[in-house]
Amino acid sequence: MKSGSEVCILQELPISETDTADYQIRYFKVPNINFNATDFVELIAWQLYKLTELPLLANLSDEDLSNMVQNPTIMEIAKYPCHTQAVERSMKLVTEVSMAVCGETSKDGFIRTKIYSRQQKPNFNTKRDYILDTN
């Protein structure tokens, strides 16, 4: 039996070979879950859904994907920063907004106002910036 990563990569190969000139919006549909599955690969009936290429693997050639199946220890995929200060700051803001207002328009307005307000405040980068001139 193949491992989960092998199954996923092998499913990706035919998808990456299809015509990518079809630039249509792909709507996400939550798949039905098979709660009687004995392996995580069986949780979703993949043949019922139109599979699209994963953005993370879009830059890899078919040869690279095949090599990943044969030797999974050399899987090197581009690293994306996901825990930077900016991301943490954004998560804090979104959490704060969720507790303060309801509705998509209200949340958007709250976030934009908060960001604009932060841009208007003076920026203190060093201790010297905090010292007041008393003369």
- Residue 24 domain boundaries: 4-74
- Pairwise pLDDT comparison (111 vs 48), residue with the higher score: 111
Model confidence pTM above 0.85 = no
Identify whether 37 is part of a domain. yes
The number of distinct structural domains making up the chain is 2
The angle subtended at Cα 34 by Cα 44 and Cα 24, nearest 5°, is: 30
Tell me: the pLDDT tens digits for 10-22? 565 555 555 455 5
Query: Rounded to whole angstroms, how far apart are CA atoms 7 and 116?
Result: 47
Identify whether 46 is part of a domain. yes
